[in-house]
A = this chain, B = another copy of it.
């Protein structure tokens, strides 16, 4: 590729990531409207449905988010009754995030979302698995490079 082409928006892999992520997130909106949650909140629930309670730190580790993002978001989710926040007994520094009954019940309502979303993607399973694999390698690489900053 010629040097000046590398400066073109359409040739930049990170711009494709950036734009695609946002457009895909928009596709979630109507699917999440029923639950009245945002996409990042949906990710929190996915993490908790898999394993709960989780400390803010553990949750952040899974979602690649820090307390500056999570704390206010979790407070909003607590306010609408999806989760509960409480200090750990063994380690008072930790705030544990658990699911309420409403939060647990939401899993059933959300069960169809992954399939509904995939219907919007014109890609076969191999292609998706390939993409998934590439992205995870990229993510790990970026996380390693980034932690030294």
Interface on chain A toward B: helix, strand, loop, or mixed SS?
Answer: helix
CB closest chain-B residue, reference A114: B6
Q: Which of A72-80, A90-98, A139-147 contacts B (4 or more CB under 8 A)?
A: A139-147
Q: Interface readout for A18-34 with B: 1 if CB under 8 Å, 0 if not?
A: 11111111111110000
A7 touches B139 (CB 8 A): no
A62 to B121 alpha-carbon distance, docked (Å): 22
Does A142 lie within 8 Å of B26, measured CB to CB? yes
**Are B23 and A128 interface neighbours, CB within 8 A?**
no
- Supply 21 A–B pairs (Cβ within 8 Å), ascending by A: A7-B107, A7-B111, A8-B46, A12-B46, A13-B135, A14-B117, A16-B131, A17-B24, A17-B135, A19-B64, A20-B138, A20-B139, A22-B64, A23-B143, A24-B138, A30-B149, A120-B141, A121-B138, A123-B138, A127-B134, A131-B138
- Chain A residues near B (Cβ < 8 Å): 3, 6-30, 39, 43, 46-47, 49-50, 62-64, 107, 110-111, 114-115, 117, 120-123, 127-128, 130-132, 134-139, 141-143, 145-146, 149
